[in-house]
Amino acid sequence: MSSDVFTHPVTVRYMEVDQQGVVFNSWYLAYFDDAFTAFLGAGGLPYQAMMDRGYDVQLVHNETTWRRGVRWGDDLRIQVTTARLGTTSFVLDFDARVGEESYVTASTTYVVIATDGTGKRSIPDFIRDVLGEPA
Amino acid sequence: MSSDVFTHPVTVRYMEVDQQGVVFNSWYLAYFDDAFTAFLGAGGLPYQAMMDRGYDVQLVHNETTWRRGVRWGDDLRIQVTTARLGTTSFVLDFDARVGEESYVTASTTYVVIATDGTGKRSIPDFIRDVLGEPA
Amino acid sequence: MSSDVFTHPVTVRYMEVDQQGVVFNSWYLAYFDDAFTAFLGAGGLPYQAMMDRGYDVQLVHNETTWRRGVRWGDDLRIQVTTARLGTTSFVLDFDARVGEESYVTASTTYVVIATDGTGKRSIPDFIRDVLGEPA
Amino acid sequence: MSSDVFTHPVTVRYMEVDQQGVVFNSWYLAYFDDAFTAFLGAGGLPYQAMMDRGYDVQLVHNETTWRRGVRWGDDLRIQVTTARLGTTSFVLDFDARVGEESYVTASTTYVVIATDGTGKRSIPDFIRDVLGEPA
């Protein structure tokens, strides 16, 4: 991957490691969530600012593949890339890496919704700008 | 303790067990929180009903003592008793037991507040009734 | 689904509910994990017994679809069915329901491994017996 | 406090914030745990190195006082100081701060144990050196 891929560092908490000595599977989704927020923020769109403009996102689908377990103290970094852009939904790819190696990858589908509870919305330009062109 | 002490069963999740093979310390506070809600509910006051009447509680202090680690699969039960009743605050004691043995004990101080953000309130009678007389 | 589908009840912890008032996405994977263990146990194979016989499982893939958010106090039940049986891996389907409605569904792929660190194993008969025929 | 107090930055995860919009109480204990490990590490004693020398610690008591709730995005920093040094146990104080303000404070008692399961040990000099003189 090119060096300009957005990367979010994660500090694994001791409590996130299970009896088998590796990060328990569900925590990766929490990491991806934080990485997504950081990705928006790095693109100039703090989450709160998105909501202030009347938009929020809803996670509707996730696929995760675990190849290797992250251990406490590992230098975990999550790469985030835009994989697909639809009318009301988009897909982000996540790659959880330790050093040069990919440990866990995931793909998450988000739907853009209105904050007033009226449901789906077309992705507005100011969000499209942050997501960029799919890789 | 008498047999009529309120007791809340806890199903330990696999993810709550750490590398040392015992429940990580912080989860007990989550268990106590659930036990507190169940305690109110068993006394006829569902948490939501308390809030609908304009009252909520805020946790301000907790003291926990760990004697022995709970393991995955252990039949964990938490006893809840009212330890102290003040004007605006009250203290509950928690005893996390496996079988007849006390593994972890705690004491938590709660302050009664208004749900409208105006701060502390005297504990109303309908909450006092549920808490009962301190042991 | 037929009435004999294995069903695992989940008590949602207050802390598992996020700012949006619904269970945060990652907790479902923790629920599925517990449901899987309960599924084995109900079939006569406690997790520890499986490990004592030299076998463990590794989660390698998960796909989850969120349709509706579970709230605190909801009567959540997770149905578990065997979806696929391979030589060294198997797939379980999970359906997280509140009442008659399906809120979140998932499909998880597990690989059977040896507990001595020597890697993948063919699924032994005593595990196949518990998993049963794919639906 | 003097400027040389050890300080551990915490990135609050979105999932750690509850329905009330503040970090749920139990997460602070997870933060303190990480802060403790970082405190040892900053003093030249990585946790694993301590264990490799045959020593571990066990958390036996914690007292936490919540004054104000931390929100998602807050710049949370935890100060760690040695409060008491006994023969086999020691006490650390934690101060969770946002900016100049103290939000949550805690005091935790740890007992030094042998990694071989033989119980309590006198605190060895190499650990005393890291803990330093009580404030």
Best residue of B24, B26, B29 to probe chain A, by most A CBs closer than 10 Å = B24
CA D45 → CA A12, A116, D127, D130, distances in Å?
A: 19, 51, 8, 7
If residue A16 lies in a helix (H) or strand (E), which one and from where to where?
Answer: none
ipTM: 0.94
Ranges of chain A with pLDDT below 70:
1-3
The pLDDT, as a whole number, for residue B1 is 43
Residue of D69, D75, D63 lying closest to D106 (CA atoms): D63
Digit-coded pLDDT (tens) for C20-58: 899 999 999 999 999 999 999 999 999 999 999 999 999
Digit-coded pLDDT (tens) for B91-130: 999 999 999 999 999 999 999 999 998 999 999 999 999 9
* Residue D12 banded pLDDT, cuts 50, 70, 90: very high
B27 touches chain D (CB under 8 A): yes
The pLDDT, as a whole number, for residue A3 is 52
Burial label for A32, CB within 10 Å (0-12, 13-18, 19+), is: buried
**Chains A–C, number of C-beta pairs less than 8 Å apart:** 49
D15 touches chain A (CB under 8 A): yes
Digit-coded pLDDT (tens) for C57-83: 999 999 999 999 999 989 999 999 999
Nearest to C15 among D14, D18, D72 (CB): D18
Residue of D122, D115, D68 lying closest to D96 (CA atoms): D68
Nearest to B18 among A17, A26, A27 (CB): A17
The pLDDT, as a whole number, for residue A4 is 83
- Residue A38: closest C-alpha in chain D: D73
* Residue C97 banded pLDDT, cuts 50, 70, 90: very high
Using a CB-CB distance cutoff of 8 angstroms, which residues of chain A are in contact with residue D30? Answer: 13-15
Find all residues with CB under 8 Å of B110, minimum gap 6, and list them: B36, B57, B58, B59, B60, B89, B90, B91, B92
Q: Would you state the structure tokens that stand for residue C17, as one six-digit string?
A: 């509910």
Digit-coded pLDDT (tens) for B6-46: 999 999 999 999 988 999 999 999 999 999 999 999 999 99
CB contact under 8 A, D19 and C21: yes
CB contact under 8 A, C18 and D21: no
Which ranges in B8-115 belong to alpha helices (H)?
27-42, 47-52
Q: Which residue has the higher pLDDT, B3 or B1?
A: B3
Q: Which residue has the higher pLDDT, C1 or C33?
A: C33
Residue D78 has pLDDT above 90, yes or no: yes
CA A114 → CA A53, A56, A111, A122, C97, distances in Å?
A: 9, 6, 10, 10, 26
The pLDDT, as a whole number, for residue C1 is 43
- Residue D14: closest C-alpha in chain C: C18
* DSSP reduced 3-state for A36: helix
